[in-house]
Chain A
Amino acid sequence: MDEILGEFIAETLETLEALSGEVVAWEANPADQSRLDAFFRFFHTVKGSCGFLNLPRFERLAHHAEDVLAAVRRGERQADPATVSAVLAVMDRIGALARALGDNATAPESPSPEADDDALLDTLLTSAGASLADETPHDHPANGRAGERAPRTIRLPLTLVDQLMNGMSDMVLARNDLGRRMREHAMDSDLESSFERLSANVAEMRDMISKTRMQRVDRLYASLPRMVRDLARELGKQATLELDGGEVEMDREMIEMVLDPLTHIVRNALDHGIEPPAQRRAAGKPDAGALHVVARQSGNQIVIEVRDDGAGLDCAALVEKAIATGLVTPVEAASMSDADKPNLIFHAGLSTATQVTSVSGRGVGMDVVRTNIEQIGGVISITSAPGCGTTIAMRVPLTLTIIPGLIVHGGGHVFAMPRSNVVELLHLTSAMVSIENVGGARIATIRGERHAFIDLEDVLQLDREKNTDEPRTLMVIRSPAGQPYVLGAQAVTSHEELVIRPASPVITASGAFAGMTLPDDGQPMLLLDAVGLAQIARLPLRDAGWHRPTPQAEVAPEPTIQALMFRERDGAHRLIPLTVVDRVEDLAAGQIAPCGTGAFARIEDRLVPALNAAPPVGAGLKSLRLHAGDEQLCYLVDDVLDIVDVPLALDAGLASGRLAGLVMVDDNPFEMLDPFALFAEARAQGALPGPAGPIRCLIPDAEDVWMRTILAPLLVQAGHEVCFGPPDPEDAAADLILCSEADADDMVQASAETIPVITLRPDALAPAGTSDTVYRYDRDRIFAAIAQVGQARISAQPGARSVA
């Protein structure tokens, strides 16, 4: 702030000095409109500057003076001598205060107490005609002394500074030329030493003149406090703004370029980052959000960071939106790292703002910010932690005009390439590089990473240099807007700091050149445009920031699944997809109930079909309880070994029996079980309860021996429940009634037709007219009927059977 304050003081005093000549003329002719305007402007400027410099005393004085002059301009008030002298007294007071401020900027103590201001203003507003002659001399002695010590600055037109820079460059060129000529001739050591001295002076001068273009970052910060305050008020939020690193210096042109992006980022942080106070309280944060803007120099870059402690970015929403707009495919999105996701915000049309506010959230913005930053050779990045806040960092070069560049030779020409675009330099003969020609496209594979490969001479339509044995040089180019590509050139020699200047439109029209430069040897050189070259060569420019595979992951990982590795009872190691394994249980031998060719495991009073249960069933068996929705089965194994990641696609599909195929785990083949086949086998065993789980079967005639001793155990074994006794329509405890022909009619009535009834007949052949009965040894039909009930129950409302 000191610099701005200093400038304000200097400017104010300067204007006062300029106006002092007018004062007399205005007193002589108070009606003179042009003079009035000049004074009005002065007060207006002072008022405006004081606003953000937090100088309320200045502001108050200037504000009232401005009001009075406005009234005069509107003709509501006469510019009588009393008014004129009151206005002049206020001017003097501002001058005195400014000098005092410049004298002691840290502790602004005024030569006259603040109470005096009131008297001045009273006079001004009432314009009572009282003479203020006593007032002014009081201030003057202080002025004389303080004026000498006020910070001394002058303002220069930028063109003059540019001319100075150009003149300096001329001088450097002349020095270099002189140096060359001196080396050609015999060296006189005296001459050499004075040339050295001149040379050192020239270098020093160049540095100093470069500094005239530099400005403190404070300038960038000047408008932020006011903006944050106003915006917070508008949004009903609270925020504190902390500004650090204002003393860092940047090229003034660069400051202009960064101003808009910075403003935008701060607005965004306030609008989307910082939560409303209530929400912050709920999250255990202080009511006021903290915004922190830090600038620092890092090498030849300036890093400007904007941090907030707000809600952070909603990465999930961002990814969803990116998929919805087709920016990424779901597969790409799944493979994006958490660090990459927030960077999606820099793409056009993506904004997580659910609502467009007057401030931001129109879906334009962050992409424009990125473009602006990249245009000046900068980089922007974002990190975000949900609930903790977001940090956006802009890295921009120190100056627009001097960039580190590589000197590139090709086709007899010499070009410059911005160093920041070049990721890597390699020789074509390097073992790490292989070039292939596929369908006209050339591809350079460098350490397993494939890049499009173009030659500089081809793009620029130049002839290659012949008669050279030197291996060509490859540059891996990373351009801000496209995929990295490889550019081949005859040679890449030195690395220089280049002063870049714009090239004329006829030259840039081709798109290949971004500017030009005049190195110290005096031969103009064109600056290559990395993006433009790729465009001329028609390389795909799809933005692919996160498609760039890391060298370690040069083969895209195949989708994998987790599989459980276990030891079969015969000792073989096999795998089964972990997703179908519900749990692993220890089973006692007594829990296994063999049943014909199949078997059941009795678990929690339920019989679950068991596979692999062939005797002898020793102790210490483990059972994999497999589930598929509402079907379950137990797969008996010797032991469970490990959980491994295996490719989703089997290495050898040989679906046969229970096996789905072979997969390779650490170079060993393992058989993978096929859950489909397992469940089919269990079902074929006829042993799985219906999909709806156990059916409550009611056998009304408990005295029927066949029903009791033959049918009921069958149903129980199949996993159903059986109860006996007459049906009770009020308590619909049963899902199904099984009865003999004799009871059928009663049962249908008793169940009020809400419960299905299966009538069993003793004879295999149905007597005429009773076709809706089931032969009691037709096991399939009985179970089919039960299954039907289960299906019906599933489709009914769940609440309808909740009585049980």
Chain B
Amino acid sequence: MNQSLFLFATIADAPIAVRASEVEAVVRLGGVVPVPLAPAHVRGLAALRSRVLTVIDMEARIFGKGGLDESASLAIVADIAAHSYGFLVDSVSDICLAPAGVQPVHGRIDPAWAPFVSGLVDYEGRSHLLVTLADFTAGAGALAA
């Protein structure tokens, strides 16, 4: 897979980029079944045909609380360590090549974002924060947040 192919999306009004190699699909989820006793960023379970996705609210994971409202249903689907996940995003703009590749982060970014951002990707003249989906599956506290 081409290393410079990225999926561009937004969460919490911030533009993000995800390596396309991590992404399996982008879907609009049906009902999400909540999971008791799970961390706040685990929205619940959703069925995608015969698969069951664990739905992760990335915004809640980043900021520890809040997150997207109940109606959010657009999700990036990815298989991580043999489990299927759906990562909720506000919107998805495109999947395309970013010839310039990954740039180092310039300037100070919000400390909440810091553990998740590994670089910047330029797309249509805007910088997008490069995130790794697998970082969001770990429980809160697993990463130094």
Contacts and interface: CB of A to CB of B under 8 A. Distances in A.
Interface of A: 166-167, 169-170, 173, 411, 413-414, 460-462, 501-507, 509-510, 512-513, 516, 518, 522-526, 536
A505 B38 CA distance: 10
Interface in B42-69: 42, 45-47, 49-52, 54, 56
B37 A460 contact: yes
Contact of B36 (A462, A503, A506): A462
Nearest to B37: A510
A173 B49 contact: yes
B95 interface: no
Interface stretch (B9-17, B27-35, B121-129): B27-35
Contacts of A170: 49-50
A538 to B, nearest CB: 14
B139 interface: yes
B37 A506 contact: no
Nearest to B33: A524
Contacts of A506: 38-39, 42, 54, 56, 137-139
B106 interface: no
Contacts of B83: 502-505
A662 B36 CA distance: 60
B85 interface: yes
A502 B38 CA distance: 16
Contact of A523 (B31, B35, B82, B137): B31
Given A413-B33, A506-B42, A507-B35, 7 more contacts: A169-B50, A461-B36, A461-B37, A506-B56, A507-B45, A510-B36, A536-B37
A173 B34 contact: no
Contacts of A536: 37
Contact of B54 (A166, A173, A507, A510): A507
24 contacts: A166-B50, A167-B50, A170-B49, A173-B50, A411-B36, A413-B33, A501-B52, A502-B82, A504-B83, A504-B84, A504-B85, A504-B137, A505-B81, A505-B83, A505-B137, A506-B39, A507-B54, A509-B39, A509-B139, A510-B37, A522-B47, A523-B33, A524-B47, A536-B37
B55 to A, nearest CB: 10
A516 B36 contact: no
Nearest to A515: B52
B31 A413 contact: no
Contacts of B139: 505-506, 509
Nearest to B140: A506
A151 B54 CA distance: 44
A524 B37 contact: no
A507 B42 contact: yes
Contacts of A462: 36
A513 B36 CA distance: 9
Contacts of B34: 413
B38 A507 contact: yes
Nearest to A169: B50
A526 B45 contact: yes
A506 B86 CA distance: 13
Contact of A516 (B37, B49, B50, B52): B52
A518 B50 contact: yes
Contacts of A522: 30, 47
Nearest to B32: A524
Contact of B45 (A166, A461, A524): A524
B137 A526 contact: no
A166 B85 contact: no
B37 A504 contact: no
Contacts of B82: 502
A524 B46 contact: yes
B36 A518 contact: no
A411 B138 CA distance: 27
Find the residue from B38, B39, B84 having the highest chain A CB count within 10 A. B38
The 9 closest A-B pairs by CB, nearest first: A169-B50, A510-B37, A460-B36, A524-B45, A504-B83, A170-B50, A504-B54, A524-B52, A170-B49
A352 B56 CA distance: 52
Contacts of A173: 47, 49-50
Contacts of B47: 173, 518, 522-524
Interface string B74-86: 0000000111110
B33 A525 contact: yes
A524 B86 CA distance: 14
Contacts of B36: 411, 413, 460-462, 510, 512
B17 to A, nearest CB: 24
A461 B31 CA distance: 21
A166 B48 CA distance: 11
A352 B135 CA distance: 50
Find the residue from B54, B56, B84 having the highest chain A CB count within 10 A. B54
A170 to B, nearest CB: 4
A512 B35 CA distance: 10
A167 B138 CA distance: 29
Nearest to A502: B83
A271 to B, nearest CB: 38
Contacts of A411: 36
A537 B46 CA distance: 28
Contact of B38 (A166, A413, A510, A525): A510
Contacts of A501: 52
A803 B56 CA distance: 97
Contacts of B33: 413-414, 523-526
Find the residue from B34, B52, B85 having the highest chain A CB count within 10 A. B52
A523 B42 CA distance: 17
Contacts of B56: 506
Contacts of B81: 505
Contacts of B35: 507, 513, 526
Contacts of B49: 170, 173
Contacts of A516: 45, 52
Contacts of B39: 506, 509
Contacts of B85: 504
Contacts of A504: 54, 83-85, 137
A81 to B, nearest CB: 49
Nearest to A510: B37
Contact of B37 (A166, A169, A512): A512
Interface in B101-145: 137-139
Nearest to B83: A504
A503 B31 CA distance: 18
B82 to A, nearest CB: 8
A523 B50 CA distance: 10
A414 B31 CA distance: 14
Contacts of A512: 36-37
Contacts of B137: 504-506
Contacts of B50: 166-167, 169-170, 173, 518
A462 B37 CA distance: 9
Contacts of A518: 47, 50-52
Contacts of B46: 524
A522 B48 CA distance: 9
Nearest to A173: B50
A411 B46 CA distance: 19
Nearest to B39: A506
A17 to B, nearest CB: 35
B86 to A, nearest CB: 11
A506 B42 CA distance: 8
B39 to A, nearest CB: 6
